[in-house]
Amino acid sequence: MKRILVLCTGNSARSQMAEGYLQTFAGNRAEVLSAGVAPHGVNPLSIQVMAEDGIDISHHTSNHVDEYIAIPFDYVITVCDNAREQCPLFPSSAEKIHHSFPDPGIASPDDHPNIDALSSFRQVRDLIKAYSLSFIDSHIGEPILK
């Protein structure tokens, strides 16, 4: 079984969605965890948009990367530039892979009146889903589809 760690800054949105999709598509062929360099709780909109696609991440917790230092991962995937910059501090022989996704949390009505937050989360979710399918296919085997 492969072990995959998904890292992002807050472990609230992108890494949570990636954890949900990667685990779903890998099934029992991988253990997928996610963490942040400055975790601040799972965003309720992440839970909502994943549920819309049939993935329940409501039980996920927001964890600090230090909690996983002793686990021998096969892959560490950074999904934002800030986590990538801090990833070399993660002492692991895992293959490090970077794929930056937009921060869905930046689309607040105050800052971006033409983009609502829910639409932003859905767009990023769809990008992460496509990437997760491709990652599992190329690194683990044929994805398990619901």
Would you name the residues annotated as active-site residues? 8, 80, 87
**DSSP reduced 3-state for 20:** helix
Which of 7, 5, 9, 6 is closest to 105 using CA atoms? Answer: 9
Write the DSSP string, 100-127: ----GGG--TTT-TTS-HHHHHHHHHHH
Mapped onto helix, strand or coil, the DSSP state of residue 38 is coil
Q: Could you tell me which residues come within 8 angstroms of residue 39 by beta carbon, excluding any fewer than 6 positions away?
A: 10, 11, 12, 62, 63, 64
Q: How far is CA 39 from the centre of its chain?
A: 13
